[in-house]
Structure 1
Amino acid sequence: MTTRPGARPTMNDVAAAAGVGLKTVSRVVNDEPGVAAGTAERVRAAIAALGFSRNDSARLLRQGRTATLGLLLEDIADPFSSVLGGAVEEIARGRESLLFTGSSGAEPQRERELALAFCARRVDGLVIVPTGTDHRYLLPELAAGTAVVFVDRPAGRIEADAVLTDNAGGARAGTAHLIRHGHRRIGFLGDLPQLYTGAERLRGYREALADAGLRYDQRLVATGRTDQATVAAALDRLVGGPDPATALFTGNNRITLAVLRALPRLPHPPALVGFDDLELADLLSPGLTVVAQDPVGLGRIAAELVFRRMDGDREPPRRIELPTVLLPRGSGEAAPRTGR
């Protein structure tokens, strides 16, 4: 038996070609038991001859699923985001789901537009690295059954799953490391203070100073945009003047990179500890001391959690926090210069 030219072969066509019933074809296609070896081989031969392929889309739609997942990052090109996204994709691939990815560009309105666009395409779940601070726009999607997990930063003004880094603890450890090496004038270069990660890392910096009995000095703190020009200007302010910072704690990898580009023009580069690891950081001279996050762990756990929600987990929202690791490599171990 042949199908009409241009028509997609159906299971009925396979059954007719193999001389078996429709249920037998269904069992072979779905790898179910109960079919004799010879019969199964005849069905598979008919499948190959006809070019039949299972229509998973129809089956999934009947189940209320589309086998798709949306991932919303701040910047898909950022090293931290790309590693996190790769971990989410690995889990999605293992669950035979397609992953749609977009970048918000750190713009809350863009984040909202992308998240709702993914939902309009009926993704089964969303993993979001949020920029905005109000996520009530997702309440109708949550009520409709879309699974949503936030990663790196928690949701704003709604209760939702969140997989986070111990930002305050990591910044506290990095700053304390500089204090142990004799620094008392430690500058902090951070992200926008309204961002959860930026605020938490500043909190950890302040806690380390307080633990050491050191006064918090606003003149040693610069937060805001992370572009090269802004960071370079802040660096000049922190290390210039009669009482400069002898060490710096940088709040994310973008800021650290901007500082590294500016350091060669400084006559007396400060000691440096950065939050987030960088590729080839150990090959610098001196090597870059960092507080390392676990973007693979963040992405993997967030993806596993969103799939559990898609599978029917109705437990209350969870907040999972992963630890950081301090990696001393040389840049954060230099003692303060004297006689500057």
Structure 2
Amino acid sequence: MKDVAARAGVGLKTVSRVVNGEPGVTPDTERRVQEAITALGFRRNDSARILRKGRTASIGLVLEDLADPFYGPLSRAVEEVARAHGALLINGSSAEDPGREQELVLALCARRVDGLVVIPAGEDHRYLEPEIAAGVATVFVDRPAARIHADAVLSDSQGGARTAVAHLIAHGHRRIGFIGDQPRIHTAAERLRGYRAAMAEAGLPVDPAWVSLGPTDPARVRTAADAMLDAPRPVTALFAGNNRVTVTVVRVLAARPRPVALVGFDDFELADLLSPAVTVVAQDSAQLGRTAADLLFRRLDGGAGEPRRVVLPTRLIVRGSGELPPAGTD
């Protein structure tokens, strides 16, 4: 900075103002300083500036699965907010493993990230209490923290599921199957609640054989769908609990001669180009990430108060598969 100041014929404070975008510098002086910066190849020492503030200008993002299309827009939105605040994003995948989640979170804390955005896999987040007490701002997204009070940004999973099943009921279906994720996962449990609520409101019973929760691997989902569709009194419609389940169910139904209505939770690529196009409950994963990151940086900028729980709405996208009428009913 001394060399820039000497070349431009100004003081160090003036150079600092230009570099940091502060007011109080005339256009001619700013031009001379910028020309000196270009000529000398000057680069601002962000490391020293950050250390003076006691921050590292980095945040961590722990996802469930980096390969899941749902998390791509979420991750990108968090990164865009971080970049707007001059921060670097470091992310990793827990693979739905609580031990891996804790390992990643504590590794990020050891590297002194300023804050964390976490899609939780575990059922006990008390291990984070010392880190939060030490000043690591933490926001949970998609699912709330377990056994601690912390900021959370969620989609309305119960409400979305309730709308999906009510939509199928409105089109004449009475035997509706639900295939979801593992029951310990908050979103899976909430979507099951929404399914049961819609059935109860319509005065419809729920046969235990119509509900299957478990891993979302294709073999398990296919087995569950086949069991519901091949039963003596088969379901006439299916509600799929997330995009991975929906894709497998689409493949199962494509091989069957009898039409079966389908609504999936989460939109997915090419859903609108299938025949019939797939009706879905869409959640805005980018908005989830953006809202969580905005909340995180408000905390980092000194925002106080009790932990917040923000619930974002979902929306039903009607495309055709959810509007198929029941076939072979009695």
TM-score under structure 2 length normalisation:
0.96
The one of 255, 273, 280 equivalent to 2:245 is 255
Alpha-carbon distance in structure 1 between the residues aligned to 2:235 and 2:33: 76
Assess if the C-alpha contact under 8 Å between 2:118 and 2:140 holds in 1.
yes
* CA drift at 1:39: 4.1
Contact 2:259 2:327 in 1 (8 A): no
CA-atom RMSD, angstroms? 1.5
Query: Is it true that 1:159 corresponds to 2:149 in the alignment?
Result: yes
Name the counterpart of 2:261. 271
Local SS of the residue matching 1:248? strand
What do residues 60-102 of structure 1 show as CA deviations (whole Å, max 9, x unaligned)?
1110111111111101111111111111112112222111111
Greater displacement, 97-106 / 301-310:
97-106
Cα distance in 1 between the residues matched to 2:29 and 2:303 = 40
2:171 to 165, 181, 189: 181
Change (3 A) 1:38 1:320: closer
Q: How does 1:132-143 map to 2 (within 5 A)?
A: 132-143=122-133
Structure 2 gaps, min length 5: none
Does 2:179 align with 1:194?
no
How far apart in 2 are the matches of 1:329 and 1:100?
37
Provide the secondary structure at the position in 2 that maps to 1:139.
Answer: helix
Is 1:42 matched up with 2:18?
A: no
Query: Do the aligned residues in 1 keep the contact of 2:259 with 2:324 (CA within 8 Å)?
Result: no
1:58 and 2:19 equivalent? no
In structure 2, the CA distance between the partners of 1:153 and 1:37, relative to structure 1 (3 Å rule), is closer
The answer to whether 1:14 aligns with 2:4 is yes
1:130 and 1:339 mapped to 2: Cα distance?
42
Structure 1 stretches of 4+ with a deviation exceeding 6 A read none
1: CA distance, partners of 2:119 / 2:21:
38
Note the alpha carbon deviations across 1:229-279, whole angstroms, 9 max, x for none: 111111111111211111100000000011112222223242101111112
Looking at structure 2, the residues matched to 66 and 47 of structure 1 have their Cα atoms a distance apart, in angstroms, of 25
**Does structure 1 residue 288 correspond to structure 2 residue 278?**
yes
Q: Provide closer, same or farther for how the CA distance between residues 23 and 289 of structure 1 changes in structure 2, counting only shifts above 3 A.
A: same
Q: Deviations over 1:269-319 (max 9, x none)?
A: 421011111122111111101111111211111110001000001110000
Instruction: State the Cα distance separating 1:36 from its structure 2 match.
Output: 4.8
Structure 1 match to 2:104: 114
SS at match of 2:116: strand
Identity of aligned residues (%): 64
Please say which of residues 165-174 and 36-45 is displaced more in the overlay.
Answer: 36-45
Structure 1 gap ranges (5+): 1-10
TM-score normalised by length of structure 1: 0.93
Aligned to 1:7: none
1:32 to 17, 22, 38: 22
The alpha carbon displacement at 1:118 in A equals 1.2
- How many residues matched? 330
Seen in structure 2, the aligned counterparts of structure 1 residues 288 and 21 have a Cα distance that, compared at 3 Å, is same
Taking a change above 3 Å as real, the CA distance of residues 265 and 54 of structure 1, as seen in their structure-2 partners, is: same
Aligned to 1:104: 94
Report how far residue 131 of structure 1 moved.
Answer: 0.9
Q: Which has the larger radius of gyration?
A: 1
The secondary structure found in structure 2 opposite 1:79 is: coil
Deviation of 1:37 after TM superposition, in Å, equals 4.6
Question: For the structure 1 residues 296 and 33, does the alpha-carbon distance in structure 2 shift closer, same or farther, using more than 3 Å as the test?
Answer: closer
Counterpart Cα distance in 2 of 1:38 and 1:166: 54
1:216 maps onto 2:203 in alignment: no
Q: What is the CA–CA distance in structure 1 between the aligned matches of 2:105 and 2:263, rounded to whole Å?
A: 35
Q: State whether residues 7 and 36 of structure 2, in contact with CA within 8 Å, keep that contact through their aligned partners in structure 1.
A: yes
Q: Secondary structure at the match of 1:332?
A: helix
Once residues 44 and 82 of structure 1 are traced to their aligned partners in structure 2, the CA distance between those partners, rounded to angstroms, is 38
Change (3 A) 1:319 1:36: closer
1:67 is aligned to 2:66: no
- Per-residue CA deviations over 1:151-202 (Å, capped at 9, x if unaligned) read 1100001000001111111111111111111111111101000110010000
1:310 equivalent among 300, 311, 325: 300
Relative to structure 2, which stretch is displaced further, 84-93 or 17-26? 17-26
- Partner in structure 1 of residue 113 of structure 2: 123
Secondary structure in 1 aligned to 2:117?
Answer: strand
The secondary structure found in structure 1 opposite 2:144 is: coil
- Please state whether the residue corresponding to 2:194 is helix, strand or coil: helix
* Alpha-carbon separation, structure 2, partners of 1:329 and 1:60: 50
CA distance in 2, matches of 1:292, 1:35: 50
